[in-house]
Amino acid sequence: MHHDLVFEIVRDALLSSVYSNAQLQIPWCGRLLKWMVIMSPQQPFDGTLCADFIFDDDTFQPLSMPAHAPKVRELLSTQHYDAYRPPRNLLRSSAFTEVMSALMVAYQHHQLSTVMDSIKHNDRLLFELSTLPDVPGVQLMHVAGKDGEPAKACFSLPLQGLDLGGVLEFEHKTAVSTQTASNTAEGIITLTSRMPFRLTAVFKVSSAVNSEPQLQLQVPQYASSWLPSNFMLPPWTSSMCLMEFVPAVTQKLQSELDSVVKGLVLKHQVIDSLTQTLGTPLELNGTSGIALYSLFYEGCPALLHVDLSTHKFPEEAPVLTLTNVRMLGSGVEGCSIIKDCPWSPRWATKEQASRILNFVKAKLPGFLHLPQHSSHTLSTGI
């Protein structure tokens, strides 16, 4: 097992703490491993306490594995943690990372041994296992059968070769334009290497040779806001193996990502054109294409909410919401949701923004119950 994989899992674990306990939730084969780390406050107050681990798998006993027990024992006995630091700080400890690295290596080997033992009479799965690449990030897991369900073998592979450059460039521009923390884009770049897109295949151990696996694309959290939730994997055919299927998934996902980047850029251009006229938005989500503007129309305050978040943008028109500020809290309906503004995906983004502005300006007199005449002016509330 490669150290990159261990570091990825450790650093991406979700941590919750209660007093001297910390629960690790570690993504693994489409599931979450739940390990408990305990630092007992009843130990001597010398500041050098050794953490205890409780695993959610009774069959995983790293101190009983000859190939791994010596290193794990050594790390547990020589690496200590300050009991007076909050457990949440464990992930910042190099000592904790070393112990977790050794434990994750042992866990991967434990699952490999368990999977191999469970599929030893299944030539199809033995072949699948033999074709898996020796690259960082490959995960294996055996799921015991219960309640009439057969045992299963899970293979999880990182999808390599995806070009995320366009997304990273857009995220960087968004971070700069919205004056967010300077390390936002750097954080995303780091996440792409630690949290790749994954394809997880679950095979029934007792199934026939041509049994179709359960397939799932695992989308990392940083990508969930801009990748359509209804993304469909390509069809699986009975004659293929998993490693033949992976390139088809990668190709289709890359095509979807390229389309997403195009949509993100267009959304940003429309919002930027609106901002040049209406001023800085009160709220802005550059990735989703959502902005809230403050307006004054003949002295009457209003809010304009522009929503370009549909994954079918620019084919679908944006959703506009007008709010009469003077009606807020009065019990009178002061909002109007508009889904039929003039729109064409063939227009340039500046033209799309101009049509939105002209449409809103024409709507405001009636919405604000003002007499309509040509001298009305629209201005920003900033």
Say whether both 150 and 19 belong to one domain: yes
pTM: 0.76
Say whether both 214 and 272 belong to one domain: no
Whether residue 95 lies inside any domain: the answer is yes
Task: In whole angstroms, give the CA distance from residue 368 to residue 228.
Answer: 37
Can you list the alpha helix ranges (DSSP code H) found in 121-241? 123-131, 165-177, 184-194
Task: In whole angstroms, give the CA distance from residue 25 to residue 92.
Answer: 16
Using a 10 angstrom Cβ sphere, with 0-12 exposed, 13-18 middle and 19 or more buried, the burial of residue 6 is buried
Whether residue 118 lies inside any domain: the answer is yes
Whether residue 339 lies inside any domain: the answer is yes
Whether residue 75 lies inside any domain: the answer is yes
**In 10 A of CB 30, how many CB atoms?**
17
Say whether both 203 and 307 belong to one domain: no
The domain tally of the chain equals: 2
Whether residue 117 lies inside any domain: the answer is yes
Domain that holds residue 46: 3-162+197-218
Six token digits for residue 211? 């049994």
Whether residue 12 lies inside any domain: the answer is yes
Distance between start and end Cα atoms, the chain: 56
Query: Which residue in 45, 156, 35 sits closest to 99, CA to CA?
Result: 35
Say whether both 274 and 372 belong to one domain: yes
Whether residue 291 lies inside any domain: the answer is yes
Say whether both 66 and 149 belong to one domain: yes
325 in helix, strand or coil?
Answer: helix
Using a 10 angstrom Cβ sphere, with 0-12 exposed, 13-18 middle and 19 or more buried, the burial of residue 161 is exposed
Six token digits for residue 119? 């599929």
Say whether both 322 and 205 belong to one domain: no
Query: Which residue in 327, 304, 323, 322 sits closest to 382, CA to CA?
Result: 304
Say whether both 28 and 158 belong to one domain: yes
Q: Output the tens digit of pLDDT for each of the chain's 382 residues.
A: 444 444 444 444 545 444 466 778 888 998 989 888 876 555 444 445 567 788 999 899 998 898 888 888 888 777 665 555 555 566 566 777 888 888 999 999 999 999 999 999 999 999 999 999 988 889 999 998 888 888 999 999 999 989 888 777 766 666 555 544 344 444 444 444 457 899 999 999 986 556 789 999 998 877 877 787 788 999 999 889 999 999 999 999 999 999 888 888 899 999 999 999 999 999 998 878 999 999 988 888 999 999 998 878 899 999 999 999 887 755 556 789 999 999 999 999 999 999 999 999 999 988 887 765 545 565 655 4
Say whether both 154 and 52 belong to one domain: yes
Say whether both 45 and 142 belong to one domain: yes
Strands 214-218 and 198-204: antiparallel
Phi, psi of 25 (to 5 degrees): -115, 110
Whether residue 207 lies inside any domain: the answer is yes
